[in-house]
Structure 1
Amino acid sequence: MIARQTPVHRSRSASSFVDIYRTPSVCPYQLQFNANDKTPKYKQIVQSIITDIERGVLKKNDQLPSISELSVEYYLARDTVEKAYRELRERGYITSVQGKGYYVQSNNTTKLKILLIFNKLSSYKKIIYYSFLQALGDRATVDLQIHHYSARNFEEIIDKNLGKYNYYVVMPHFATDLDKADYRKVLDRIPSDELVLLDKDIPEMVNQLSVYQNFDKDIFGALEEANDLLAKYNRLVLIFPSEGNYPVEIARGFRSFCAVYDKEFAVKENAVDERLESGTAYVVVEETNLAEIVKKVRQSSFLLGREIGIISFNETTLKELLGITVVTTDFETMGRTTAALLLDKKQIKVKNPFYMIRRASL
């Protein structure tokens, strides 16, 4: 039988989620029931056992509790448990041995189950997603969900999926006006050896895998490396929309660079009302504002790369064709690195590469 820990009984009220550890002598297996779930009880038994087989909690040849044990422990009719076991046997997940009991037959534990939770979908997120899948190969199945910067959405995702996956790979980008406690308490519910932080690290959280960008140091370092090109510009402007939920560390790193290198600077919401001035270089986060600055330069007498400079965030083929200088993280490497470390069961923090691609716009 499968060893379990000392009993810790919790409320069986209709509003609670039944999640009880029992003594091995009574019923050495843990089922999950939701008393408010309209799903038939036998179906909940079926799903609980299948989930544990897929997660590797139950392995081939593990013995399951008897029909009597489950009936007594969960106050279920014997017919309910018999119906669940019959379905599991018919679907090939378990087998029965006369006089001995029921055993796990399916060997689905070779594939990891991973839930990937992004803050949003974008072309850059797709690069991470596909490189992550490619690096995992056939060793894992991956489901994707989006929390849209909402701690409440994130909590609902975890409520529905906690305990169903081997790993939870989370981009912890949330609305900038949100109290950190709102999402930290949800992250803290995920076991540290199952949690992977992607793109953004949370320094105070330890003992879990993290592949991240260091936004303030990244932008500071990239601008510093281009100091020779920036020497001809006495003013820098960061176009940084507050409604975009972009990491505030970007603006912090930008301001630090300007202070250290004695540059006049400004941080603005958008480029619509911007009046171009010779000797100004723009650092642009969103592509709509990039297009606006490029249009204004083309309508003016200023020369791009001499009197007006442009640096855009994140590489695209169009920016390459237009000759736009970019600062970018290596999204492909982020996906590959995360997959490789996850497969190796590493619990370390790794900074993802960030660099500048110099082109004629600077």
Structure 2
Amino acid sequence: MNNKPHDQSLIFEKIRSLEHVQSLSKHEQLVQGVLDAIDAGNLNANDVLPSVNNMVKELGYARETIVKAYKELIERGVIASKNRKAYFVISENTKQQQKVALLMYAFDTFQETLYQHLKENLGSDTQVDLYFHHNNPEVFEAIFNRIVGHYGLYIVAPIPSERIKELLISIPPFKLLIIDRYINLGTDYSYIVQEFEDSSYQIFNELKNKLSNYKEIIFFFRKNTAEPQEIVKSFRKFLKKTGLNGKIETNYKPGTIKKHIVYFTIHNPELYAILKDVMDKNWELGKDLAVLAHNDDVIKEILAGGITTFSTDFKRMGQLAATFIKKREKVQVIIPTVLYPRKSL
């Protein structure tokens, strides 16, 4: 750090010049005043900022307000602190966006679609750091504790638990966006999510006539995974209402493929194992047996002549998340689930 002298009174002037702007809080005046001082050349890289005590003395603002403003400037990557006492400029790029932490389940193809469209709609000047919790609460908490306080915005695909909820509500609503899975954090928090129970029940009903052409529907579902429990509820409800023959099994065992069965899986590796057995038997999808999958992607569109899926629009989810980052306006959206009928069913 370079302690070269500069006129700190110019910084106070920039801050005071914003006091008449009623739309800005004191904390926002401090942040913008420092940014304006950098843009005007009153502050350069390595210059030391006024201490918190000096800010209190000169401006009369509360200590908490000044600390909050400095913390935001750190999150933006504009300043840094040394031993939490001295603050200094590390970047003169005041136009850069805040750093964003994106915490997701795993990098599946459909979540990759979300990420790609998030990045495309933000531009290259926004830093998005990607983390994965793999639906493991301990991993989630470890990552959360490591990254909290280091980003200006957090985009999180949550795990439904009270402990995770406690962690998330420690982040102010304007700094947090819930994506993919809904978790109730209160009316002030933003979310862009999908809904599973009602939407999947509607899809099963939409497919009723096709499903009734087969002897049995086997749904492979693993407990204690990221796979949505709500789909199990809707599947059981559908079987009870229609009287169709079906069951839930934990996983598909390679080599056990049978004709006149509908195989429904959420797990991509399982889907590929089923399709390999179909290919080895030289059977025809949609005729000898059927396959249904969850979460659409380009691969399922072309694989084996096309796999029937139902899915939310992860491209749209990524686009809306990018808009939230840019505008920072509260958003509460449930993206519809859509059926994509193809050859496999």
How many residues get paired?
292
Correspondence 1:312 to 2:332: no
Change (3 A) 1:27 1:198: closer
CA contact (8 A) 2:219 2:249 kept: yes
Counterpart of 2:123 in structure 1 is 137
Bigger Cα displacement from structure 2, 350-359 vs 226-235: 226-235
Q: Provide the TM-score with structure 2 as the length reference.
A: 0.72
List per-residue Cα deviations over 1:288-322 (Å, max 9, x = no partner): 32233334444558653134211122334443231
**Alpha-carbon distance between aligned partners in 2 of 1:108 and 1:337, rounded to the nearest angstrom:** 25
**Alpha-carbon distance between aligned partners in 1 of 2:253 and 2:147, rounded to the nearest angstrom:** 43
Which of residues 168, 171, 190 in structure 2 aligns to 1:190?
Answer: 171
- What is the one-letter code of the residue matched to 1:322? A
Which of residues 297, 314, 328 in structure 1 aligns to 2:311?
Answer: 328
Q: Give matches, 1:68-217, under 5 Å.
A: 84=86, 88=88, 91=90, 106=92, 108=94, 110-138=96-124, 140-173=126-159, 180-203=161-184, 205-217=186-198
- What is the one-letter code of the residue matched to 2:336? P
**Alpha-carbon distance between aligned partners in 1 of 2:279 and 2:309, rounded to the nearest angstrom:** 19
What is the root-mean-square deviation of aligned Cα atoms in Å? 3.6
- What is the one-letter code of the residue matched to 1:357? Y
1:215, CA displacement in angstroms?
1.5
- What is the one-letter code of the residue matched to 2:227? Y
CA contact (8 A) 1:132 1:338 kept: yes
1:57, CA displacement in angstroms?
12
Bigger Cα displacement from structure 2, 110-119 vs 125-134: 110-119
Counterpart of 2:42 in structure 1 is none
Percent of aligned pairs sharing the same letter: 22
Counterpart of 2:344 in structure 1 is 361
CA contact (8 A) 2:105 2:134 kept: yes
List per-residue Cα deviations over 1:58-90 (Å, max 9, x = no partner): 99xxxxxxxxxxxxxxxx9xxx96xx46xx26x
1:278, CA displacement in angstroms?
4.6
Q: Give matches, 1:235-314, under 5 Å.
A: 235-242=216-223, 244-272=225-253, 275-276=256-257, 278-298=259-279, 303-314=284-295
**Alpha-carbon distance between aligned partners in 2 of 1:125 and 1:171, rounded to the nearest angstrom:** 10
Change (3 A) 1:267 1:52: same
**Alpha-carbon distance between aligned partners in 2 of 1:299 and 1:286, rounded to the nearest angstrom:** 20
Change (3 A) 1:190 1:136: same
Q: Provide the TM-score with structure 1 as the length reference.
A: 0.68
CA contact (8 A) 1:54 1:108 kept: no
**Alpha-carbon distance between aligned partners in 1 of 2:278 and 2:144, rounded to the nearest angstrom:** 47
Tell me, which stretches of 5 or more residues in structure 2 are unaligned? Answer: 1-11, 16-25, 28-51
Tell me, which stretches of 5 or more residues in structure 1 are unaligned? Answer: 5-18, 33-47, 60-75, 94-105, 175-179
1:252, CA displacement in angstroms?
1.5
**Alpha-carbon distance between aligned partners in 1 of 2:209 and 2:332, rounded to the nearest angstrom:** 32
- What is the one-letter code of the residue matched to 1:248? Q
1:150, CA displacement in angstroms?
2.8
1:122, CA displacement in angstroms?
2.1
Change (3 A) 1:111 1:26: closer
